[in-house]
Structure formats: structure tokens, C-alpha cells
């Protein structure tokens, strides 16, 4: 049960951080291109790469820190970082076809799901 509370807390912090940063960037740079989301996604990808590598290869940490920071915090900040990490892991493991499929299918399926959601919402 404690693991769920830790992930929940991290997710709340990450979500608020995402909203604050994306809003601030949008106010500064405009909204014609989603710079806020772009920067959040890229920075989240950087952070998951940095933190997962440090936690897995350099430091033996309490597993609750990984749940709080990576699963909860970065999961709330951006799920894009998890996508990037998993794709990078596939590539590192020599699974180039699976990595390419993950990229192509995630983008196409994600966009299709977005459009389907829009269509359904507009038909209600």
C-alpha cells in the first residue's frame, strides 16, 4: 500500500511541475508551437535517462526513491520520458526493429487515438 502512496505523491508533484513549466513557457514564447509540451517531454526524457542510469548503475537506493522520483514524479511530469527510455533500452539490447516499431506505432496510434477521442467528444 505504501508504494501506491509514494507513486501518488510523486505523480502529483510531477503533474504540477509539468503544468507550471508548460504554462510559463507558453506565456513567454507563445502557443503557435507547443514549446511547453516539447520542452517538458524532452527534459523528462533527459531526466529519466539520467536518473534511471544513476539509480540502476551507480547508486543502490531505497526502491521507494525510484517509485517517488521516476515512476511517480516523471510519470506525472511526462509519460513521454518512459516511452523514450523503453525505446532506448530496446536499441541498447539490439532490438532495432522493435525500437523502430515502438516509435512508429506509438506516434501513429497515439495520434489516431487523439483524433478518435476528439471525434467521440464532438459527437456527444
Q: Is 37 a residue whose pLDDT tops 80? A: yes
| Residue 75 assigned as binding residue | yes
Q: What is the pTM of this model?
A: 0.75
Q: Taking residues 5-29, what's their average pLDDT?
A: 95
Handedness of CA 73, 74, 75, 77 (dihedral sign): positive
Q: Tell whether 37 is in a known binding site.
A: no
pLDDT digits (tens, 9 = 90+) for 66-92: 999 999 999 999 878 888 988 999 999
Q: What is the mean predicted confidence (pLDDT) over 1-15? A: 96
Q: How far is CA 3 from CA 52, 64, 68, 79, 120, in A?
A: 18, 7, 9, 19, 35
Q: Is the pLDDT of residue 50 over 80?
A: yes
**Domain ranges, ordered by start, for the chain:** 2-77
Amino acid at each position: 500500500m505504501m508504494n501506491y502512496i509514494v507513486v501518488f505523491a510523486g505523480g502529483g508533484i510531477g503533474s504540477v511541475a509539468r503544468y507550471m513549466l508548460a504554462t510559463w513557457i507558453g506565456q513567454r514564447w507563445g502557443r503557435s508551437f507547443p514549446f511547453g509540451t516539447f520542452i517538458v517531454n524532452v527534459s523528462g526524457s533527459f531526466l529519466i535517462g539520467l536518473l534511471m542510469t544513476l539509480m540502476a548503475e551507480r547508486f543502490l537506493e531505497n526502491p521507494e526513491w525510484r517509485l517517488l522520483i521516476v515512476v511517480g514524479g516523471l510519470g506525472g511530469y511526462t509519460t513521454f520520458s518512459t516511452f523514450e527510455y523503453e525505446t532506448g533500452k530496446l536499441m541498447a539490447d539490439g532490438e532495432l526493429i522493435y525500437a523502430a516499431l515502438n516509435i512508429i506505432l506509438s506516434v501513429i496510434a497515439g495520434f489516431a487515438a487523439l483524433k478518435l477521442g476528439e471525434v467521440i467528444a464532438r459527437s456527444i
